[in-house]
Amino acid sequence: MAQPLQCPVSHTDYTRESEIYGHYALLDAEREKDRFHFNDTTDRGFWMLTRYEDVLAGFQNWQEWTTDVRTALFPKSGIPLLPQDLNGEAHQKFRKIINPFFAPAAVKRMSELAHSRCIELIEEIRDQGHCNFVAEFAIRYPTDLFLALLGLPVTDGEFFLPWSENMLNCMLQGDVEGAGVWQAKILAYFDKAVEERRANPLDPTEDMVTRLLEAEIDGQPLTKDDILTTCLSIMLAGLDTTRSALGYIFAHLASHDADRQMLVDDPDLTKDAVEEFIRLYPLVIQAGREVQESTDFHGLEMQQKDVIWLGIGSANRDPRMYPDPDSFVLGRPGLNRHLAFGAGPHRCLGMHLARLELAAVLEEWHKRIPNYRIKGSEPLIERGSQLTLENLELEWEV
């Protein structure tokens, strides 16, 4: 473990669950107490960068601080991911293959599907007058769209969804063996889909699996393992994050009547609202990095192989960057510089898709269910590591 003598030591275990917003309170307190902390809750420990400018600099220092560690909380994940695990030129070449499928123009092509699937799911629950928003909507919606993105039947969501949930939960608890069991099932499922596409290729400019099958890097085709790992990685990166964002957004709107009414009255504000929600409720609270060469970062001496926590959750709520950071403020200056999607070469591949999905839900939901509230008075619980609300019971008049 690196020497924690140069700054205060944090014993806060960020993998623990808490009441909703509990993690932001802990992060805010640490950021304001000192510029850097050394956290000793994992085997290797990690240097915590928490202020906006430092976290941004960390993302930009990609030559020296690499994704050989992807999360500071579980530095040895044991599950390969693509493109996440690549760095430098190799990463650039890989992203070039898949970037076009996630560019704004390509994502726009998914808009119709995003809206129609959203409407179907809302109509299923509207007459009930209540729902567990997480289980009955927020988990199902991004899964269906992900399957469509890969050209797979949305009806497969029924069995695919629990597999992906279980795998991610194992990973977020550091249970590599458990994650491996679910990973094997998911890879076998993708394998069938890839073979089907090999036999019946589609237009590689529109179909991602066909593109992966035809793509070459330095004259070499991608291996089968690489193709399957890419599908798995996009799934892991895209499903839990989107459903978690939906949970926090709807928890906010269900308890802030004026904000909800504003979006109901003026749906044109939805895009800006989505961006501010993403800043305000960052669920990927940190990205991990590993130091490749000993370095001095503003007086903090880091050694090769040290682990770094790039504190997205505290940077996005840093008052030095965003005045009144814990409030929802439409049109705040500098909003488009928030770090919820990361920054630098590993910046979120799916950010345009995430924005589209979230905006579609807000628009379609509010057309059909404009008034809703949180059911009951039990405190909402958020998972640690990568934040999510396990449950969100909503109710409305029918």
Binding site for ligand HEM (CB under 6 A): 67, 70, 83-84, 95, 233-234, 237-238, 241-242, 245, 278, 283-284, 287, 312, 340-342, 346, 348-350, 353-354
Tell me the three state secondary structure of residue 47: strand
Encoded tokens for 369? 């269910």
Closer CB to ligand HEM, residue 98 or residue 263? Answer: 98
- CA gap 38, 14 in Å, rounded: 13
Least separation, in Å, of the C-beta of 185 and ligand HEM?
Answer: 20
Q: Helix 270-280 and helix 224-255: axis angle, to 10°? A: 100
Residue 283 or 302 with smaller CB distance to ligand HEM? 283
Residue 135 C-beta: closest distance to ligand HEM, Å: 19
Q: How far is the CB of 95 from ligand HEM (least distance, A)?
A: 6
- For ligand HEM, the closer of residues 117 and 346 by Cβ is 346
Q: How far is the CB of 181 from ligand HEM (least distance, A)?
A: 23
d(CA 301, CA 390): 39
Nearer to ligand HEM, 388 or 396 (CB): 388
Q: Record the tokens describing residue 186, joined without a space.
A: 């998911």
User: What is the 3 state secondary structure string of 280-298?
Assistant: HCCCECCEEEEECCCEEEC
Q: How far apart are CA 122 and CA 190, in angstroms?
A: 28
> What is the smallest separation between the CB atom of 5 and ligand HEM, expressed in angstroms?
28
Q: How far is the CB of 341 from ligand HEM (least distance, A)?
A: 5
What's the closest the beta carbon of residue 239 comes to ligand HEM, in angstroms?
Answer: 8
Cβ-proximal residue to ligand HEM, closest one: 350
Alpha-carbon distance of 51 to 37, in angstroms, equals: 11
Contacts of 137 (CB under 8 A, 6+ apart): 121, 122, 125, 131, 246, 361
Distance CA 347, CA 353 (A): 13
- Tell me whether residue 281 or residue 396 sits nearer to ligand HEM (CB atom): 281
For the chain, the first-to-last Cα distance in angstroms comes to 58
By C-beta, is 52 or 341 nearer to ligand HEM?
A: 341
Alpha carbons 314 and 329: distance in angstroms, whole number: 17
CA distances from 199 to 46, 49, 226, 377, 378 (A): 47, 49, 18, 54, 53
Of residues 254 and 340, the one with the C-beta less far from ligand HEM? 340
Q: ∠ CA 344-348-353 to the nearest 5 degrees?
A: 140
Burial 251-260 (b: 16+ CB within 10 A, else e): bbbbeeeebb
Strands 46-49 and 307-310, sheet pairing: parallel
Decide whether 107 or 396 has the Cβ nearer to ligand HEM. 107
Least spacing, CB of residue 94 vs ligand HEM, in Å: 8
- Given the complex with ligand HEM, which of 84 and 388 has the nearer CB atom? 84
Q: What is the smallest separation between the CB atom of 129 and ligand HEM, expressed in angstroms?
A: 28
